A and B are shown apart, each in its own frame.
Chain A
Amino acid sequence: MTAPAALQRRLTHLRQLEAESIHILREVAAEFDRPVMLYSIGKDSSVMVRLAEKAFAPGPLPFPLLHIDTTWKFRAMIDFRDRFVKERGHELRVHTNTAAIAEGINPFDHGSNKYTQVMKTHALLDALRAGGYDAAFGGARRDEERSRAKERIYSFRDRFGQWDPKSQRPELWSLYNGKIKKGESIRAFPLSNWTELDVWQYVWLENIPIVPLYFAAPRPVVERDGALIMVDDERMRLGPGETPRTEVVRFRTLGCYPLSGAVRSEATTLPAIIREMLLATHSERQGRLIDHDEEGSMEQKKREGYF
Chain B
Amino acid sequence: MRELEDAELARTDIEGYLRRHEHKELLRLVVIGSVDDGKSTLIGRLLHDAHGIYEDQLSAVQRASSKGATRGEGSEAAIDFSLLTDGLRAEREQGITIDVAYRYFSTARRKFIIADTPGHLQYTRNMATGASTANVAIILIDARLGVLAQTRRHAYIASLLGIPHLCACVNKMDLVGWDQAVFQRIADELGAFAGKLGIPDVRCLPISALRGDHVVDRGDVAPWYTGPTLLEYIEEVPLTGDLNLTDLRFPVQYVIRPSLDYRGFAGQIASGVVRRGDELVALPSGRRSTVTSIDTHDGPLEEAFAPMSVTLRLADAMDISRGDMLVREGARPESSQRLDAMLVWMAERPMDPDKSYLIKHTTRMVRASIERVVGIVDPDTLQPVPAPRLGLNDIGRVELRCHQPLFFDAYRRNRGTGAFILIDSLSNDTVAAGMIQAGTSAATGADAGPARENAPQVSAAERRARLGQSGAVVTIGGSDGASARERAFLIERVLFDAGLVAAVVPEVGAAAVAAAGVIALVVVPRPALALDGAAVTSASDDHEAAARAVLAALGAAGRTS
21 contacts between A and B (CB under 8 A): A1-B298, A1-B308, A6-B305, A10-B25, A13-B111, A26-B267, A27-B363, A57-B295, A142-B104, A146-B88, A147-B88, A150-B101, A170-B125, A172-B421, A175-B361, A177-B421, A193-B113, A195-B106, A201-B18, A271-B15, A295-B60
> Which of B163-171, B252-260, B400-408 contacts the other chain?
B252-260
Question: Residue B106 contacts which of A54, A56, A197, A281 (CB distance < 8 angstroms)?
Answer: A197
- Nearest-neighbor residue (CB-CB) of A9 within chain B: B305
- Do B303 and A6 have beta carbons less than 8 Å apart? yes
Given contacts A165-B88, A281-B54, A299-B89, 18 further A-B contacts (CB under 8 A): A15-B308, A16-B307, A23-B268, A26-B254, A30-B253, A30-B363, A55-B309, A56-B256, A56-B266, A57-B295, A142-B102, A147-B87, A149-B87, A150-B100, A169-B430, A170-B125, A278-B7, A296-B92
* Residue of A9, A27, A192 touching B273 (CB-CB under 8 A): A9
* Closest chain A CB from B46 CB (angstroms): 14
Q: Indicate with 1 or 0, residue by residue over B2-23, a CB within 8 angstroms of chain A CB atoms.
A: 0000010011001101100111
Task: Determine which residue in A1, A53, A286 has the highest number of CB atoms from chain B within 10 A of its CB, and name it.
Answer: A1
Bound: A198/B105 CA distance, A:
11
- Interface mask (A47-77 → B, CB under 8 Å = 1, otherwise 0): 0000001111111100000000000000000
Contacts of B126 in A (CB 8 A): 170
Q: Spot the interface stretch: B127-135, B150-158, B214-222, B519-527.
A: B127-135
Query: B residues within 8 A CB of A56?
Result: 254, 256, 266
Asked if B203 CB lies within 8 Å of chain A CBs, one says no
In angstroms, Cα B57 to Cα A282, docked, is 8
Q: Give the total of A residues in contact with B, Cβ under 8 Å.
A: 74
Known A11-B308, A55-B266; judge A150-B297 contact (CB<8 A).
no
A157 CB to nearest chain B CB (Å): 13
CB-based contact B87/A150 at 8 Å:
yes
Does B537 touch A at the CB level, under 8 Å? no
Number of interface residues of B (CB under 8 A): 87
Give Cα distance in the complex from A59 to B10, angstroms. Answer: 39
State the B residues within 8 Å of A (CB). Answer: 7, 10-11, 14-15, 17-18, 21-26, 54-57, 60, 63-64, 84-90, 92, 98-104, 106, 110-111, 113, 125-126, 128-129, 132-133, 239-240, 245, 253-254, 256-258, 262, 264, 266-268, 273, 295-298, 301, 303, 305, 307-309, 311, 322, 346, 358, 360-361, 363, 415-416, 419-421, 423, 425, 428-430, 433
Taking CB atoms and an 8 Å cut-off, the chain A residues in 170-211 that contact chain B are: 170-177, 179-181, 192-193, 195, 197-198, 201, 204-205
Q: How far is the CA of A165 from the CA of B309 in the complex (A)?
A: 31
Contact B10–A149 (Cβ < 8 Å): no
Q: A22 contacts the other chain (Cβ, under 8 Å)?
A: yes
Residue of B whose beta carbon sits closest to that of A269: B14
Minimum Cβ distance to chain A for residue B284 (Å): 18
Q: Is the CB of B88 within 8 A of A299?
A: yes
Q: Are B428 and A179 in contact (CB under 8 A)?
A: yes
Q: Does A227 contact B (CB under 8 A)?
A: no
Query: Is A278 within 8 A of B10, CB to CB?
Result: yes
Cβ contact within 8 Å between B129 and A172: yes
* Residue numbers in B under 8 Å from A54 (CB-CB): 296-298, 309
Q: Is A268 part of the contact surface with B, judged by Cβ < 8 Å?
A: no
List chain A positions with a Cβ less than 8 A from chain B: 1, 6, 9-20, 22-23, 26-27, 29-30, 53-60, 142-143, 145-150, 165-166, 168-177, 179-181, 192-193, 195, 197-198, 201, 204-205, 271-272, 274-275, 278-283, 285-286, 295-296, 299
**Docked CA distance A198–B112 (Å):** 12
In the complex, the answer to whether B423 meets A177 with C-beta atoms within 8 Å is yes
**A159 to B266 Cα, complex, angstroms:** 32
The listed residue with most A CB atoms (<10 A of its CB), out of B101, B111, B240, B346, is B111
- Given A9-B305, A55-B309, A165-B90: A173 and B25 within 8 A (CB)? no
